[in-house]
Amino acid sequence: MNTQNKLMTAAEAIGRFVHDGDCVAFGGFSTNRRAYGLVREVIRQKKKDLTVESGSAGGDIDMLIGAGCVKVMNISYIANSGFTMVCRRFREAVETGALPVEDYSLDVQTIAYHGAALGLPYVPVKNMLGSDLETLWGISEEERKKYPKLPAKKFVVAEDPFEPGSRLCLVPTPKIDAALVHVQKASPDGTCRIEGARFQDEDIAIAAKHTVISCEELVSDEEMHADPNANTLPGLCVDAVVHLPWGAHPSQCFGYYDYDPAAMIAYDKASRTQDAFDAWLAESLCQDHAAYLKQIGEERLSGLKIDPAAGYVPGLKRK
């Protein structure tokens, strides 16, 4: 059977499928399976004016903000949990008014991603009604006119047509240009497998016009197709496959490695000011992923490999 080979380098995939001004959605959750390897390539290529979508975001999105890649974002949470409670480049950008941000609850945002995957223009929910998330918009209806990738309104409150007197919150679904997701296994035709929690990753990959997958392991199409029930996404949802072992570092990747506390602590310190962040980025970004891994060092990476019986690294110094 002839199948399409979608293998690319990170530079090729980001160069082809992520453009200035795009709406880009990111997979993973805070310190779990974030697509750091692809994010670093976005920064290397100096992509700008991005509209960012991410359910529970982490330091990868904070890096994009610090590097000047982000124009506006929809968010529900952004932290390197356990190390930085609110990511620092994000916080400063919001507090100074440099970054317009719309705030949804985490459950609503993931429901909206599922609606986008289904091709729905909006999703009706009860969530957020009666809270400040209903009354205090981060981006006004007038200001939204400046950002073509944002919907005209945060949401619309309407009466439930099937239960008169009951209110619904009609939340627009995002129009995602590109989704960047890190997975455990993928094959050249784009079939991929997420092990452990999947978060919003399936939905953003299906909803996006273009999906770029980075993977820990590159396996044959035949091996992936031999156990289709274990697969997460078919190749038809994926435009590019990038083989990036340790592509989620310094976040964790279930079944492969733990998060890197030393890197998280170092980033927490470096991201406290823009000048310190700029110096850190110049030193740590590296010319490509291979150079990045070499800088981290084989010994340090080896110490992050999980104990299969435990599912994490016993004895890892986490503070």
Number of H helices, E strands in the chain: 12, 11
Query: Domain extents for the chain?
Result: 20-122+174-319
Structure tokens at 41: 């390539």
Strand positions, DSSP E, 104-204: 122-125, 156-159, 167-172, 178-186, 192-193
Strand positions, DSSP E, the chain: 23-26, 50-57, 70-78, 101-103, 122-125, 156-159, 167-172, 178-186, 192-193, 210-218, 240-243
pLDDT for position 2: 45
Q: Spell out the per-residue pLDDT of the chain, length 319, in tens.
A: 446 899 999 999 999 999 999 999 999 999 999 999 999 999 999 999 999 999 889 999 999 999 999 999 999 999 999 999 999 999 999 999 999 999 999 999 999 999 999 999 999 999 999 999 999 999 999 999 999 999 999 999 999 999 999 999 999 999 999 999 999 999 999 999 999 999 999 999 999 999 999 999 999 999 999 999 999 999 999 999 999 999 999 999 999 999 999 999 999 999 999 999 999 999 999 999 999 999 999 999 999 999 999 999 999 998 8
Q: Are 145 and 112 in contact (CB under 8 A)?
A: no
CA 89 – CA 1 distance, rounded (Å):
49
Structure tokens at 186: 């993928």
pLDDT for position 3: 62
User: Which distant-in-sequence residues (6+ apart) come within 8 Å of 154 by Cβ?
Assistant: 102, 104, 137, 138, 139, 171
CA 277 – CA 273 distance, rounded (Å):
6
CATH topology of domain 20-122+174-319: Glutaconate Coenzyme A-transferase (3.40.1080)
**Pairing of the two strands 101-103 and 210-218:** unpaired
Of 295, 277, 278, residue with least CA distance to 286: 295
Q: Are 55 and 109 in contact (CB under 8 A)?
A: yes
pLDDT for position 1: 40
pLDDT for position 4: 85
Structure tokens at 63: 């890096």
Q: State which amino acid sits at residue 233.
A: L
pTM of the model: 0.96
Q: List residues bridging with 213 in a β-sheet.
A: 181, 241
Q: Are 268 and 79 in contact (CB under 8 A)?
A: no
CA 159 – CA 161 distance, rounded (Å):
6
pLDDT for position 121: 97
